[in-house]
Chain A
Amino acid sequence: MTSESAHNPAQRPPRTNALMLFFHHLGSPPWFYAFAGKCVPVLWILFAVLTVTGLYLGLFKAPPDYLQGESFRIMYIHVPAAWMSMMIYAGMAVMGFIALVWRIRMMEVLAMCSAPVGAAFTLAALISGSLWGKPTWGTYWVWDARLTSELVLLFLYLGVMALYSAYDDQRKGARAACLLAVVGLVNLPIIHYSVKWWNTLHQDASIGLSGSSIHPSMLWPLLIMAIATKCFYLANLLTRARVMLLEQDGRKGWVRDALAGVRG
């Protein structure tokens, strides 16, 4: 965001402020392609540095949990992945809504590129969660409220991706999938609360984390990892969006120019 003034051409209209201009620019594929190309390496480096730091602090420096022993360390993968799975869905639905209402093509592209990343995070959260469940709860799977809503979330992601890929016309598929994502977002709180309530009806005690507060030496690596996963998401998203733009606009002039720059 700080570098926006550097990209603004000198002939910008006097009545538009720089931030608005920046957003307008982002709607144009060639400009977005160039801008994302500058962001991606920075984000990947940030992601690598943060992940190495976070994992080092989490896996080697943080003391073992007094109840769960060493196995709690899986939290440093599991919890950020679970956070991201929900955040990406919300982001995807908001972008889908913008794409449908204002018909901005970049938003369609970004929303559709979010879906596979979000689904991957959901799957990672589910797998790491069940691996964590084995030593702590003694079983790989419990029909616990959180697990179940995470599973339903995975199904929603898969639905969006399946709908998108079912259409031959990419833009039509993207718009249909955006609408489905918005419908899913309206439904998601209802699903979450009904599942939570269903679980408490059938089961007396819900299984949660052992302690109510986390010691700072354990918390900091978690927060670092949470930021690292966000960098991963953004970097992955922008990389995917650039490729998708190249695919969709393959015959347009700006793509030829951009690729000529790479080759030349």
Chain B
Amino acid sequence: MLRRDLLLAYRRRSELLYPLFFLLVVVSLFPLGIGPSPDLLARIAPGVVWIAALLATVISLDNLFRADFEDGSLEQFILSGQSLGSIALAKIVAHWLVTGLPLVILSPLVALWMQLPAPAMGAMVASLALATPILSFVGAIGVGLTISLRRGGQLLSLLIFPLYVPVLIIATGAIMAAADSLPYGGFLGLLLAGLILSVTLAPLATAAALRISLS
């Protein structure tokens, strides 16, 4: 399942770049809108990078089940007798590998743009690496709920942004602490806890959501 999804993504390489472009464009709007003062940019950098990452994840989430829903594979998965939760898990992991991971790899470049102080760089990459999977996992529940709606994409953001609040707070907290040369291990621990919680529970909730959507 994971291999199949990665292969499918590989065949449509150009679509993979959309979230990345999106991240770059959104981040570059901030200096244009606020002014290029390095102090100001450095202060808002954690929030800007994270909000851009949130938005980039949300615009890519719709792809998670859309193609499978439209060509009917999703119904076949449900009927296949395999646990729908593990299928959802595989699909979410594949989704993160093709959208979340590139964001993590690209993030140091964005941090340079935003004049993020050097000590905070490691914290930012670590927080993105730990928490973008949470975004994919929690978002998958929302996608499962809205997949059969015509305007699901617009509703999706309304449903899942409130659920992303803790991730945003803790992740930016880690980067800010690191920028002030404070220990930030605790924040990363919290993110790891959130990751474990979402990996265990979200596939089940996603499976339940898909069953409701396709019933």
Contact = CB atoms under 8 A, between A and B. Distances in A.
Interface string A146-159: 00000010011011
Which of B141, B161, B208: most chain A CB closer than 10 A? B208
Nearest to A156: B162
A192 to B, nearest CB: 9
B196 interface: no
Nearest to A177: B145
Interface in A11-52: none
B159 A179 contact: no
A137 interface: no
Contact of A183 (B152, B163, B170, B215): B163
Given A166-B149, A179-B208, A194 B158 contact: no
Contacts of A162: 155, 158-159
A187 interface: yes
A184 B163 contact: yes
Contact of A163 (B159, B166, B201, B205): B159
A194 B169 contact: yes
B212 A175 contact: yes
Contacts of A219: none
A140 interface: no
Interface residues of A, number: 27
A226 B151 CA distance: 40
Nearest to B162: A155
A61 interface: no
B209 interface: yes
B155 A166 contact: yes
Nearest to B214: A172
Contacts of B201: 186
Contacts of A205: none
A179 B207 CA distance: 11
A155 B155 contact: no
B158 A158 contact: yes
B63 interface: no
A179 B149 contact: no
B213 interface: yes
A190 B166 contact: yes
A94 interface: no
